[in-house]
Structure 1
Amino acid sequence: MMGPWYGPEPGYSEWGWPGFLFMIVSMVVFWGGLLAVVLTVLRHLRLADPPRREAERILAERLARGEIDEEEYRHRRETLGGRR
């Protein structure tokens, strides 16, 4: 319907209910895409760290079994970038 100034009445758009449906779908796609990006970044950051921890764990196990001495352990840990 046309309002007194030849525009849509207050509360309505020129698209009517299809415009409202388009707006809902657009918002779901936007927030879903944003959530997917955030989860992908978090997953990437989480997966980037464990290999170093795994290497440090194996190194500590080798020290505990006596396969390497403490000096070699410290040297290899520094090479891995461990700071403990």
Structure 2
Amino acid sequence: MTAKLTRTFGFAALAALTYAAPALAQQTERYYYGPHMWGWGWFFGPVAMIGTLVLVLVVAAMAARWMGDRSGAGRTAPDKTAQDILAERFARGEIDKDEFEERRKLLGA
């Protein structure tokens, strides 16, 4: 019985709020919160919106650039030659001796 009464009261409260919302939205005072977009408000509103959007995009681009600079993945030092990189790969065990010799011959060393 209590659950049914609670459910009924919940539906009644929801209905009361639903029907009261339009009445609360229609205030009788003309300038309840001020004249809003009168005067220079029509100009500064869109300017502030565009400025905020530009600021968010600039911050996002700077964050992406900062995070990209930290990884260093896929970059090699400009003073390394192809033969140096090949020797490093051979030293790390990524390629075997036959592949190392074959690629070294292709590079002309």
When the two structures are superposed, what TM-score results if normalisation uses the length of structure 1? 0.51
Residue 14 (1) aligns with residue 55 (2) = no
- RMSD between superposed Cα atoms in Å: 3.5
Residue 5 (1) aligns with residue 28 (2) = yes
What aligned pairs does 1:27-66 form with structure 2 within 5 A after superposition?
27-50=49-72, 53-55=75-77, 58=80, 61-64=83-86
Q: Extract structure 1 runs of 4+ deviating beyond 3 A.
A: 58-61
Report the alpha carbon displacement of residue 63 of structure 1 after superposing the two structures with TM.
4.6
Q: 1:65-84: per-residue Cα shift (whole Å, max 9, x none)? A: x5x6833xx18xxxxxxxxx
Aligned partner of 1:70 in structure 2 is 90
Report the alpha carbon displacement of residue 53 of structure 1 after superposing the two structures with TM.
2.7
Using a 3 Å threshold, how does the CA distance of structure 1 residues 52 and 59 change in structure 2: closer, same or farther? Answer: farther
Rounded Cα–Cα distance in structure 2 between residues aligned with 1:39 and 1:7? 44
Identical pairs, percent: 18
- In the alignment, structure 2 segments of 5+ residues that lack a partner are 1-26, 94-109
Rounded Cα–Cα distance in structure 2 between residues aligned with 1:69 and 1:49? 20
When the two structures are superposed, what TM-score results if normalisation uses the length of structure 2? 0.41
Aligned partner of 1:80 in structure 2 is none
In our comparison, the structure showing a higher alpha carbon Rg is 2
Using a 3 Å threshold, how does the CA distance of structure 1 residues 69 and 25 change in structure 2: closer, same or farther? Answer: closer
Task: Give the 3-state SS of the residue equivalent to 1:6 in structure 2.
Answer: coil
